[in-house]
Amino acid sequence: MAPRENSHEPGGTPVPVETGFATLATLRIGVKAFVEKDGEKRKAEILSMQTRRGKPTFYVHYEEFNKRLDEWISADRIDLSREVEWPAPEKPEKKKTTTNQKAQAPSKSDQRNQKKSRSKLDREVSATPEATSVNLPGKAPRPTKAGGKENKELLVTSEVTDGSTPKPDDEEMDLVDVQDAAAAAKAAPTEIYSREDEIEKLRTSGSMTQNQTEISRVRNLEKIQMGKFEIEPWYFSPYPIDFVDSEMVFICEYCLSYYGEVTQFERHRTKCTLLHPPGNEIYRDDYVSFFEIDGRRQRTWCRNLCLLSKLFLDHKTLYYDVDPFLFYCMCTRDEHGCHLVGYFSKEKESAEGYNVACILTLPQYQRKGFGKLLIAFSYELSKREGKLGSPEKPLSDLGLLGYRAYWQETIVDLLMEGKVEANIEDLGATTAMTTNDVLHTLQNLNMLRYNKNQHVIVLTDAVIEQRERQKAKEKIKGKRSIDPERLQWKPPIFSAASRTWNW
Amino acid sequence: MTQRVTGQRFRQRKLSTKQNLPVLREHEVEKLADDDAARHIPKVETGVEKGEEIEHHLQAVISASQAAASGGNVAQLYIPTPDAVASKLQYEDLYPRHFTQPATYIRFSSTVEDMVGCPYCMTSDDVIFLKSYNQKKGKTVQCSEDEFEEVMNFFEETSQTKQPFAAVDNPPVVSYEELEAEFDETISEPARRFARDIYNHWKNQRLLKGNRPLIPSLKFETNLETDDSDPYVCFRRREVRQVRKTRGRDAQVTEKLKKLRKELEEARYLMAQVKRREMVIRDQLAMDRQIFDQRTAVKEIKRKLGIKGDDEELLINQKPAPKPKPKVDVQAVQRGIPGMGPKPQLTRPDGRLLDSDLVYLEEQQAKRSEAIEGFIEENLMKHQKWNIGWVDQTWRPITPPLEQAAPKAGFRPVFTSSQLPTPPASESSEAAGDQMEADQPTKQVEPRRSARIRYATPPDDVPYQDQRRFRRRTGRGGRVMIDRRGVKRQKLDSIDERVADRFKYSGDSSEDEQVYPVDWTDNLHIRYRIMIDRQGDKQHAQAAAQNRRAIENHNRSASGYLLPPSNAG
């Protein structure tokens, strides 16, 4: 995510970061302090603060750690013996007042609110009128309307400006109100700010963080219950705002409906008759089944799926509806039904030739080889279509590793069949991989070399050794792969009408 | 070693993805500084966001795998993720073992809404309420959970349709009476019994929520400005801008296809018609042949039986086409008389040369003279009519007053029309002062003119030689004589020399004209005479000429002088 990149390393611009010692009372959102994480101190940015059971807690993002490791911490994990970095002020001369106000406001109001709303998000970023929005209302950049991108993190650069109307200290607001107000304030900043202030903000704001929608950076769900598992969400997902109060959100394993209360969920379970994803089974072997689901026909189910997967995918947008996508869902089967393990979505028509939009193995099934099966299946579909495919970018860290592993295995296996010669395009054609991905893989494995005035592909000893080890492992555990014979599928054809999003 | 040196001297060739590259094992390759090779291969991006590429755990794993790729033995690393743990919920109870796998692949199209039954699910509050409610009720009328949910769902859905913007404008909770009025098939009879009692519970729940729907729902776009920045707003409708673009192009393509299709249809239709025509012709030929055969047969029979008759009528299908009458172009001739010269007709209307139906010259000439006579007669009548009620007091008129019922037949035909019609009065005492006279041609016909002098002035623009002049004299013994001048004999008259000789001295000799060039009918002299009588007004003369022009539109000179038919010459 671009905004965070900027926050990590303040670009090439040598903006002197103001540092200093802080007390618990002067800590505020945007402050970067050292926090104890797994036995070591890491620099972390405070993204949100609230009071739980009378004690202040902080939502922190560790620098150079993925956002999924962001967490709520108690104050005692913050190392106040070391200097903290103050957030870049909007205007240096006004900084004093900002700090002063900030120092008092949160603690005061939090103490008053501590019983009322346990999970109240104190989202006061800056109570000074200087903190203004970069964008005028209605000018927030929209994502491209044309592409069917599902994968892109939206750069809706709105910003937190609920400080514009200083909150009375004694006012108690419940969480919903605060968030609504925040959203409203972001979109429509009050007219207190002068034009100069806005321009100044536009010019000076080095960190995009301030322009980022703060709410969506903080995870909104504590925990979800699904099937046999309780899972900790990784990222924000726009489930109903009411669930912020819930300790646990219950998700039905089959219809993926969501409930904030166990009673409701149990009632639902007595009524729900779905036992597998609501589409056609297009692949079945003794291990998994694949179902194909049209976002247009199964709008509710696909929306539920997207909400769920957004909890674990950072670079996914639910900005637009599910209509232009097909969802390929992988399930394991038992007497209970078909348990959703993972899925990938695919544009009905991809302008860029992507064969996967979003891909996810649910966290409870990760590190079991399901990801590779999903990827293999996506390439199997591409082979059936007679096209080369590549996953939509950006990839997540886990996505990159998953794909690299699959690519390596596929290409090395192909080369080890005893070939004397190979060309990169042919390798791509047999595997339905794009030329670029083949090149990427070979290069990454240090297999492309220059020898005797020509380029050669080298099956390095390391690569061979790695593959042998893998094969040995497969012999013990059993190799899981996709059998093209079992795929009962023809590439679906969509008329122009069904590809559009008419309702 | 030498090879290596030379290899480095040359620039490496670019890597071609289409080219076959040898696949080698590591021991087959020279040990090189590998970064050399890498230089010439385009660096492929990982596809991960730049900001995340530097993340600690990812980098750790990548460097570990790179170490592995280059031969190091590194323990496999994982990117740490938040935990997923076994749930304490009783899975077996919640998810009973109902699934039996069909032998064939599952085909399924029901939606979630079809499969989950009543969308309202009881909350713990509802359970407490229902428990106490059923305790109060007798054992016979217990409200089941399904019935309760049915009623609650009905309330929710009905109030949603009645107050779609309840969350925004905070209306009061819908009254029970209003809800009751909406009862329909979505709420069953047994459930309706409890509706009134459940209503209060529902209302309380609604009020606790600020009259918002009890089931948490997603935030959809409301078309407000806040939509864009609200991270909770999801599943927006996609705009169809792109579609519209293609629609425009599609329309063009459609038009082209339509046109093509239409053209093809037309061509096909033409071909079909041609085919039909040929079929008809074939049939006709067959028919003709049959007729011919039968007629021959008839002929044979007739011959055998000795019947004598006209074979012709039997053997010829068609009567001989009546010979087209030699069409005398009467119309053309008549048209030609008053001035529209008949165009030389070399061909008949059907295009054939004009040889079979010859037009005789005598006929033509007779017709022509007849037409001319008719024309003269007509104008004569007109002139007399015009002069009714007027007394000619001209002293020695140049144009003598016409005799009543002048026996036309007594004169030889005059091949001219120049004296006709009599020009209008050139002046009147009243009109002399009236400048507007010329602009009121309609008044010309009114009999209020009192011309004392009537004359017909040959206009200036007609050469003197061409002007025809006539004079009537009364001679001794009451003979009436007409003198003429400038009349040419019609050239069409094929008069032989002897006949021509007869008239040799009947006309004024040309020598006379030369000897006495002064002509008393000359404009100058006439004008002079007019001026004697009155103070001449040139304008009047011009106005008169214009009026004349207005009256007739025959073949005239520029000033309105009536010229003889052009074909006369």
Q: β-strand A390-391 against A354-356: which pairing, if any?
A: parallel
Smallest CA–CA distance from A2 into chain B, residue: B51
**Whole-Å CA distances, A271 to A30, A338, B455, B554, B558:** 47, 17, 123, 107, 109
Q: Does B103 touch chain A (CB under 8 A)?
A: no
Set A90, A130, A153, A392: catalytic member: A392
Torsion from C-alpha of B513, B519, B522, B527, nearest 10 degrees: 170
Q: Is A70 within a domain?
A: yes
**Beta carbons of B22 and A454 less than 8 Å apart:** yes
Secondary structure letter of residue A288 according to DSSP: E
Q: Is the pLDDT of residue B315 over 70?
A: no
Q: Is the pLDDT of residue A336 over 60?
A: yes
- How close B204 comes to chain A (CA, Å)? 18
Residues of chain A contacting B38 with CB distance shorter than 8 Å:
443, 448
Q: Total structural domains in chain A?
A: 2
Would residue A392 show up in a list of annotated catalytic residues for this protein?
yes
Locate B366 and state its tokens. Answer: 């007779």
Smallest CA–CA distance from B64 into chain A, residue: A401
**Beta carbons of A322 and B235 less than 8 Å apart:** yes
Q: Which residue would you say has higher pLDDT here, B547 or B60?
A: B60
pLDDT score at A477: 87
Locate A150 and state its tokens. Answer: 């599902």
**Beta carbons of B236 and A320 less than 8 Å apart:** yes
Mean pLDDT of chain B: 73
Nearest by CB to B105, from A213, A273, A488: name it: A488
Q: Which residue would you say has higher pLDDT here, B337 or A324?
A: A324
Q: How many CB pairs under 8 A join A and B?
A: 398
Q: Is A452 within a domain?
A: yes
Give the Cα-Cα-Cα angle B188, B193, B195 (nearest 5 degrees). 85
Smallest CA–CA distance from A439 into chain B, residue: B44
Matching residue, tokens 């042998």: A468
Q: Does B98 touch chain A (CB under 8 A)?
A: yes
- How close B283 comes to chain A (CA, Å)? 52
Q: Does A452 touch chain B (CB under 8 A)?
A: yes
Nearest by CB to A333, from B41, B101, B117: name it: B101
Most A CBs within 10 Å, among B91, B93, B121, to test the A interface? B121
pLDDT confidence tier of residue B52, bands split at 50, 70 and 90: confident
Last residue of a domain, one of A45, A66, A85: A85
pLDDT score at B94: 92
Average pLDDT of span B284-297: 93
pLDDT score at A349: 85
Residues of chain A contacting B229 with CB distance shorter than 8 Å:
140, 156, 158, 183, 186-187, 213
pLDDT confidence tier of residue B445, bands split at 50, 70 and 90: very low
**Whole-Å CA distances, B114 to A266, A293, A338, B100, B389:** 19, 16, 18, 20, 111
pLDDT score at B517: 57
Q: Is the pLDDT of residue B120 over 90?
A: yes
Residues of chain B contacting A421 with CB distance shorter than 8 Å:
20-23
pLDDT score at A319: 80
- How close A298 comes to chain B (CA, Å)? 6
pLDDT confidence tier of residue A22, bands split at 50, 70 and 90: confident
Identify the domain containing residue A474 by its residue range: 396-484
Matching residue, tokens 């003198």: B483
The sign one gets for the Cα dihedral B387, B392, B398, B404 is positive
Smallest CA–CA distance from A243 into chain B, residue: B216
**Beta carbons of B26 and A446 less than 8 Å apart:** no
Q: Is the pLDDT of residue A88 over 70?
A: yes
Nearest by CB to A263, from B50, B122, B236: name it: B122
Q: Does A349 touch chain B (CB under 8 A)?
A: no
Please write down the HEC assignment for all residues of B28-82.
HCCCCCCHHHHHCCCCCCCCECHHHHCCHHHHHHHHHHHHHHCCCCCCCCCCCCC
Last residue of a domain, one of A44, A69, A85: A85
Find which of A143-157, A483-497, B116-130, B391-405 is predicted with most confidence, using mean pLDDT.
Answer: B116-130
Contact A260, B216 (CB under 8 A): yes
Q: Which CATH number does the domain housing residue A79 bear? A: 2.30.30.140
Q: Does B251 touch chain A (CB under 8 A)?
A: no
**Beta carbons of A397 and B52 less than 8 Å apart:** yes
pLDDT confidence tier of residue A338, bands split at 50, 70 and 90: very high
Locate B436 and state its tokens. Answer: 């507007």
Q: Does A458 touch chain B (CB under 8 A)?
A: yes
Q: Among A25-39, A167-181, A218-232, A237-251, whose mean pLDDT is lowest?
A: A167-181
Q: Is the pLDDT of residue B561 over 60?
A: no
Q: Does B51 touch chain A (CB under 8 A)?
A: yes
From chain A residues 148-187, the ones with a CB under 8 A of any chain B CB are 156, 158, 179, 183-184, 186-187
**Beta carbons of A146 and B242 less than 8 Å apart:** yes
Q: Is the pLDDT of residue A332 over 70?
A: yes
**Beta carbons of A253 and B37 less than 8 Å apart:** no
pLDDT confidence tier of residue A156, bands split at 50, 70 and 90: very low
Q: Does B107 touch chain A (CB under 8 A)?
A: yes
From chain B residues 453-472, the ones with a CB under 8 A of any chain A CB are none
pLDDT score at A190: 36
Q: Among A368-372, B94-98, B334-338, whose mean pLDDT is lowest?
A: B334-338
Nearest by CB to A1, from B20, B51, B227: name it: B51
Average pLDDT of span A15-27: 83
Q: Is A68 within a domain?
A: yes
From chain B residues 201-230, the ones with a CB under 8 A of any chain A CB are 216-219, 224-230
Q: Does B86 touch chain A (CB under 8 A)?
A: yes
Last residue of a domain, one of A31, A63, A85: A85
Q: Is A59 within a domain?
A: yes
Backbone φ and ψ for A260, nearest 5 degrees, come out as -85, -5
Smallest CA–CA distance from A64 into chain B, residue: B55
> pLDDT of B506-532, one tens digit each?
655 555 444 555 666 777 777 777 777
pLDDT score at B141: 83
**Beta carbons of A455 and B13 less than 8 Å apart:** yes
Q: Is A262 within a domain?
A: no
> pLDDT of A214-251, one tens digit each?
566 788 999 999 999 999 999 999 999 889 888 999 99
Helix, strand or coil, per DSSP, at residue B22: strand
Q: Does A498 touch chain B (CB under 8 A)?
A: no
Q: Is the pLDDT of residue A431 over 90?
A: yes
Residues of chain B contacting A334 with CB distance shorter than 8 Å:
97, 99
Nearest by CB to A64, from B16, B24, B56: name it: B56
Smallest CA–CA distance from B119 into chain A, residue: A268
Question: What pTM was computed for the model?
Answer: 0.61
Q: Which residues contact residue A338 at a Cβ distance below 8 angstroms, ignoring those fewer than 6 apart? A: A254, A275, A276, A277, A289, A291, A331, A332, B99
pLDDT score at B20: 87
**Whole-Å CA distances, A456 to B2, B69, B114:** 20, 17, 59
pLDDT score at B187: 84
Dist. CA B519–CA B499, nearest whole Å: 30
pLDDT score at A414: 92
Residue boundaries of the structural domains of chain B: 121-209, 266-307
- How close A421 comes to chain B (CA, Å)? 4
Smallest CA–CA distance from A136 into chain B, residue: B225
**Whole-Å CA distances, A399 to A150, A233, A312, A346, B543:** 15, 17, 12, 15, 107
